[in-house]
Structure formats: structure tokens, C-alpha cells
């Protein structure tokens, strides 16, 4: 069935820098996806409830506060609690040190995109790694 | 059908999935809505419309919170435009509603218009039914930011709330045909700005010209500061009572059902015509004859109707 990919773009935690999230939202829009943009300062619970209600394929989390080690795994855990982790691809983006990435992946974040990543790379990754068929 | 049962029990995940299925024209979802249709008609459906940036999402957030205080369950459908170029969209209405995410009595869904031009998406009516079946007492439909002629919301809602802001134009704008005619209740949001009183006067003057038993009330609000929300809900309640007591509610629902039947039949016909390659090729061949003036499009369309829809015996073709 031909349908648009639905992506939730969210900013977990306490940082007010949403330029990156907006750039990625715009790029995904131009790639034909439906982007649900949820704005700043959300808790993992809020993000997961929004993802559930919006029936999204992807949760893309932008974070520049340094709290990624805590917040990103928390989103994954809550998605599992709600029983939707098997359907939802979780991505991270922002200023995240190389050294932290393996740990995040182990926690269930599929990929991390750091500053300077061409948006096309993210788009291709999403298209090739969806957990449920279109 | 198991999805339908879960929906009836109020399961949010079932609702979320069914809305996606309806958006993607999944026949299973249509069958479920058809089977559970008798469970609809209980929710009060309120449309919220107005120009981009008028504060519709913020008002929806505040209205929903007030309704929650009265212990009502609230469903929100927030429509934003789909790009006609990429097919993508940015659905940003949730930004103003993030406090509601965790409320068990609230369900919010963002929808892209996906090619529909009237301010809603093709699946909005289906999504309303889904929220109705899951037991929502109120369903708030937020349209895309409208210009002058996106009036589809009248076909979907029991009451239409028109959100205006000061300073959008002179009184002639208020006189024009189109969206100004569909408001059952008016609110001037951002009323702390210059010109709010004048805008109110202009709208009142415009309404002075209209006839009918219902005179739309006009109030002011500053949604972001939660000012004017109670007066607004009072006005919406007044309209609801008027609709029920005057018999207009059932009349409106008959009208809306009529339009929906026509709409669904129209899309079924179109699907029958265009959903198969033989028919498409046949139309293409006929088009060539029309292009060189061998045939005219009027008689051809009659022929197409007979060939593809009606069938030789006069019955509907399979």
C-alpha cells in the first residue's frame, strides 16, 4: 500500500535549540514524509504517547543538552512498555560524542546522526530501515 | 474486527492504527467502521477554523483542558497542509498541546490534507467516527489555516467556531462570501492587540445582515493566557442547546450524511473507473478521438458511464 512514512520529530529534555530539528523536519517533508513536529522540552513519556497516538514509523530525537545517555534509552524503554518498539525506528541527532554512540545503539537507538550529516543520509537510512512495511 | 472491539473499549493504539488504515484506504478499516457505525453519533463535534496563525491550536489546547475539568473525554483531530509537490507535510499543531499528551482522557491525531482542498483531509470524517466509537464526548477538529473558501468543516461538525484576529483587513473582508458565512460562534483571539474592539464591531455588523434563528455570538479571547475560554465554551454550549432544541441538529446531521453518501459514491465510481488498467487505456483511446475532434467529450462521458459503471443490463457493473 502506498502511504507516506510518518515521523515524529521531538526534542526531549531541557534544551532550547531546535534549529537542527527544524532542518531535519523540513528535509523529511521534502522527501515526501509526514512529519509530526512536537516542539521543545518534552519528557520521554510525552514523546511516547504522541508516537502512539500518531501511529508513526519513526521517532527522531534531537538533543544537544548532553543528556542523551539518559533520555534516549528512556524513550526506547517507554516504547517497549507500550508495546510499539517493534514497529518504531528510533533515531537520535545532535551533538553526541562518538564514544557515546555504541552505548546508545546497544540501548536500542538505531542510528545517531551528528552535526554535518547530509540530510540525504538520514532520509536513506529511514527508507531502508523501517520496521514495518509501507 | 478485533481492532474494532479494542476501539470500542477505548484503546488508543487501536484508534491510532485505524486512523492510519482509513487514511490509507484500507478496506478492512472501512469494514470495521461499517460494522461499528451504530456506536457513533454520541460525540459533540466542534470544528475550529480560521486563518493561519490565528491561534487555533492554542485555543484547542485550552478548550480541551476546560472540557477535561468537566470530566469529558476529548478527541482532537488537527489538520495541516500536505505539500502538493513532495507529498510530505509538517504537522505542527501538537506543539501547543504537549501538556495533553499524557492525559488518559485525551487523544490527539495530526492529519495531512493529502490533496484535499477544503481545509480537511479526505479521511477526517472517518477519523471522527473512530474517535466517536472509542467514546470521546467531544471531538475538536482543527482545520488547516484557511483563506476565504475552505468550508468543508461545515460538513463535518455540529458547530463551527471561527477564530479571527485583529488587523486582518477592513469591514469589506468581513462582508465577503465564504468562510465568514460558516461560523456558528466567533471568537477574536489575541484580543490584547490593537484593533480587537474594532474587529469585533465589524464582525457584529456583518452578522447584523444575516437572517435566521441563530445569531452567532462574538467574544474575545487571549488563548495563550487562558483568557476568554469560559465565555467561549458558554457560547458553544448555547449553540449546542439551540441546535438540539430547534431540531436543527438532526437536520444538520441529515444534510451532512447526505453529503457523505454522495461523496463516498462519487469516490467509489471514480475508483471503479480509474482503478483498472483496461479502463484507463480505454479512456486514453477515447481521449485521442476527442482531441482530434472526431468525437465530443459530452457523449463520450455518457458512453464511459454506460461501459464502465452501469453495464448493459442497467445494473451496476462488478
Confidence of residue A1 (pLDDT cuts 50, 70, 90): very low
Cβ of A55 within 8 Å of Cβ of B20? The answer is: yes
Kindly report the CA angle at B17 between A37 and B13, in degrees rounded to 5? Answer: 85
- Which positions ≥6 away from B13 have C-beta within 8 Å? A52, A82, A83, A84, B6
ipTM above 0.90, yes or no: yes
Which of B11, B98, B127 would best serve as a mutation to test chain A binding (most A beta carbons within 10 A)? Answer: B98
SS3 B92: coil
B112: chain A residues, CB-CB within 8 Å: 4, 34
Q: In sequence order, what E strands does B113-229 have?
A: 138-142, 159-164, 185-188, 218-220
Least confident of A105-119, B171-185, B262-276: B171-185
Give residues 49 to 108 of A whose Cβ lies within 8 Å of B: 49-50, 52-55, 82-84
Domain ranges of chain A: 6-128
Rounded to the nearest angstrom, the minimum Cα separation between A85 and chain B is: 13
Residue B316: what pLDDT? 72
Biggest alpha carbon–alpha carbon distance for chain A: 40
Residue A22 contacts by C-beta under 8 Å, 6 or more apart in sequence? A37
- Tens-place pLDDT, residues B55-113: 999 999 999 999 999 999 999 999 999 988 899 999 999 999 988 999 999 999 999 99
Q: Which of B5, B3, B9 is nearest to B135 (CA)?
A: B9
Exposed/middle/buried for residue B119 (C-beta within 10 Å: 0-12, 13-18, 19+):
buried
Task: Report CB contact under 8 Å: B91, A1.
Answer: no
Nearest alpha carbon to residue A40 among A23, A20, A18, A19: A18
CB pairs under 8 A between A and B: 91
Q: What is the dihedral of CA B161, B164, B169, B175, to 10 degrees?
A: 20
CB B288 within 8 A of CB B309: no
Query: Which domains are seen in chain B, by residue range?
Result: 39-246 (3.40.50.300), 258-310 (no CATH)
> Residue B298 has what pLDDT?
96
Task: Spell out which residues of chain A touch residue B89, defining contact as CB-CB under 8 Å.
Answer: 4, 29, 34-35
CA B281 to chain centre: 35
pLDDT in tens, B280-313: 999 999 999 999 999 999 999 999 998 888 876 6
Contacts of residue B162, Cβ cutoff 8 Å, sequence gap at least 6? B49, B50, B179, B180, B182, B183, B185, B186, B187, B216
Which of B138, B71, B60, B57 shows the shortest CA–CA distance to B103? B71
Which chain A residues are closer than 8 Å to B102 by Cβ?
45-46, 49
Comparison of pLDDT for B99 and B127, the residue scoring more: B127
Among 3.90.230.10, 3.30.70.1150, 3.30.460.80, 3.40.50.280, name the CATH number for the domain at A6-128.
Answer: 3.40.50.280
Select from B74, B72, B73, B91 the least CA-distant residue to B83: B91
Beta strands in A6-133 (DSSP E): 6-10, 34-37, 58-62, 89-93, 111-113
Q: Does residue B127 have a pLDDT over 50? A: yes
How far apart are the C-alpha atoms of A127 and A27, rounded to whole Å?
A: 13
Q: What pLDDT does residue A81 have?
A: 97
pLDDT for B177 beyond 80 = no
Note whether B26 contacts A25, CB cutoff 8 Å: no
Collapsing DSSP states into helix, strand and coil, what is residue B227?
Answer: strand
Whether residue A29 and residue B83 make contact (CB cut-off 8 A), yes or no, is yes
Spatial separation of the C-alpha atoms in residues B84 and B234, rounded to whole Å: 39
Amino acid at each position: 500500500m502506498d502511504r507516506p512514512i510518518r515521523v515524529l520529530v521531538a526534542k526531549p529534555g531541557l534544551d532550547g535549540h531546535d534549529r537542527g530539528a527544524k532542518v531535519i523536519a523540513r528535509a523529511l517533508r521534502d522527501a515526501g514524509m509526514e512529519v509530526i513536529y512536537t516542539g521543545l522540552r518534552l519528557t520521554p513519556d510525552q514523546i511516547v504517547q504522541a508516537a502512539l497516538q500518531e501511529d508513526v514509523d519513526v521517532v527522531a530525537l534531537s538533543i544537544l543538552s548532553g543528556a542523551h545517555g539518559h533520555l534516549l534509552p528512556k524513550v526506547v524503554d517507554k516504547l517497549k512498555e507500550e508495546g510499539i518498539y517493534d514497529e518504531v525506528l528510533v533515531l537520535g541527532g545532535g551533538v553526541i560524542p562518538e564514544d557515546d554512540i555504541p552505548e546508545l545503539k546497544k540501548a536500542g537507538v538505531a542510528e545517531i546522526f551528528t552535526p554535518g550529516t547530509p540530510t540525504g543520509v538520514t532520509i536513506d537510512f529511514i527508507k531502508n530501515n523501517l520496521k514495518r512495511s509501507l | 474486527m478485533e481492532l474494532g472491539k479494542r476501539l470500542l473499549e477505548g484503546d488508543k493504539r487501536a484508534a491510532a492504527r485505524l486512523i492510519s488504515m482509513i487514511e490509507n484506504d484500507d478496506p478492512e478499516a472501512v469494514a470495521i467502521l461499517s460494522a461499528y457505525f451504530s456506536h457513533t453519533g454520541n460525540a459533540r463535534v466542534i470544528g475550529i477554523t480560521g486563518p493561519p496563525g490565528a491561534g487555533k491550536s492554542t485555543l484547542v489546547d485550552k478548550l480541551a483542558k476546560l472540557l477535561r475539568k468537566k470530566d469529558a473525554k476529548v478527541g482532537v483531530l488537527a489538520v495541516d497542509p500536505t505539500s502538493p509537490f513532495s507529498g510530505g507535510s509538517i504537522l505542527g499543531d501538537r506543539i501547543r498541546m504537549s501538556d495533553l499528551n499524557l492525559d488518559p482522557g485525551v487523544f490527539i491525531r495530526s492529519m495531512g490534507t493529502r490533496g484535499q482542498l477544503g481545509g480537511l483531509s479526505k479521511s477526517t470524517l472517518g477519523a471522527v467516527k473512530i474517535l466517536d466509537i472509542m467514546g470521546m464526548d467531544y471531538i475538536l477538529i482543527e482545520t488547516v489555516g484557511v483563506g476565504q473558501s475552505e468550508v468543508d468543516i461545515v460538513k463535518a461538525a455540529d458547530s463551527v467556531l471561527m477564530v479571527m484576529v485583529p488587523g486582518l483587513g477592513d469591514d469589506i473582508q468581513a462582508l465577503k462570501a465564504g468562510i465568514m458565512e460558516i461560523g456558528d460562534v466567533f471568537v477574536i483571539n489575541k484580543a490584547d492587540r490593537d484593533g480587537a474592539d474594532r474587529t469585533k464591531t465589524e464582525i457584529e455588523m456583518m452578522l447584523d445582515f444575516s437572517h435566521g434563528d441563530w445569531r452567532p455570538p462574538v467574544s474575545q479571547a487571549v488563548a495563550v493566557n487562558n483568557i476568554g475560554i469560559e465565555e467561549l465554551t458558554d457560547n458553544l454550549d448555547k449553540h449546542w442547546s439551540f441546535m438540539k432544541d430547534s431540531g436543527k441538529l438532526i437536520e444538520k446531521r441529515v444534510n451532512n450524511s447526505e453529503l457523505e453518501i454522495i461523496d463516498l459514491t462519487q469516490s467509489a465510481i471514480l475508483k471503479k473507473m480509474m482503478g483498472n488498467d483496461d479502463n484507463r487505456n480505454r479512456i486514453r483511446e477515447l481521449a485521442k478521438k476527442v482531441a482530434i475532434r472526431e468525437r465530443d467529450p459530452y457523449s463520450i462521458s455518457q458512453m464511459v458511464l454506460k461501459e464502465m459503471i452501469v453495464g448493459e443490463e442497467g445494473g451496476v457493473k462488478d
